[in-house]
A = this chain, B = another copy of it.
Amino acid sequence: MESETGRIEAFSDGVFAIVITILVLEIKVPHEKGTELWHGLWEQWPHYAAYVVSFLIIGVMWVNHHTIFVHLSRVDRPLLFLNLLVLMVVSVIPWTTSVLAENLTDPDSANIAAILYSSWTVVYALAFLSLWWHVTRVGHLFHDKVDKDGARATRLRFGLGAIAYPCTVVLSLFSAPLTLVAHFLIAIYYAANQIPIPLVIEEERLASESDLRK
């Protein structure tokens, strides 16, 4: 069954890698010619900003996904489909990114696009949390050395952490550029502070933590 996890990881990695790479297709070549090209390149700043933020968000999602699957040794049918749900949600991000980038400087539609972008991160957080709840509920899919009760206890912290996303939806009503900045900061925060999944054997936990914190 080890190989079972292997192929889900490979498939998921493939999807993450493609999603994060086709993000760049949303940045168009400016139509401006001659010395106007500088201007045309500059005008596209919302696309660059949205690209960087979405790249970072998907990157952090991949790291989280990776962290969970490293602790699993078995796969069941619900996991297969909750994982598919997570991938479906992730795959839509290039589109929400394009919608936001296209509308970021339009005074009337910027907030609408920001609400769409932020709401989608909420949808992702929900999909990811339901995968995590399924995995921790019984704990039958974990490696033997994972501390199942400890893993279950992280649910609340995971859930609380996800509260940042609904807040960005509210922020979207006021300022789209600030919303983008908020998503950038949240991604940086989660990149630096991840909730560790506790292991049964204390020594191993410390060793693995020190590796990850260095």
Contact = CB atoms under 8 A, between A and B. Distances in A.
A4 interface: yes
A18 B27 contact: no
A15 B33 CA distance: 31
Given A35-B112, A37-B112, A76-B211, A66 B7 contact: yes
B191 A34 contact: no
A113 B35 CA distance: 10
Contacts of A15: 17, 20-21
Contacts of A55: 84, 88, 91
A150 interface: no
Contacts of A35: 108-109, 112
Interface in A84-105: 84, 87-88, 91-92, 94-95, 98-99, 102-103
Nearest to A78: B214
Nearest to A26: B29
Nearest to A192: B77
Nearest to A79: B214
A201 interface: no
A70 B11 contact: no
A206 interface: no
Contact of A25 (B11, B13, B22, B37): B22
Given A36-B109, A76-B211, A77-B213, 19 more contacts: A4-B70, A11-B16, A11-B62, A14-B18, A15-B17, A18-B21, A21-B22, A29-B102, A33-B103, A33-B109, A34-B108, A35-B108, A37-B112, A41-B99, A52-B88, A56-B88, A59-B81, A63-B80, A74-B211
16 contacts: A7-B13, A10-B10, A11-B13, A15-B21, A23-B91, A24-B92, A24-B94, A29-B99, A33-B109, A34-B109, A36-B109, A37-B109, A76-B212, A77-B212, A77-B213, A78-B214
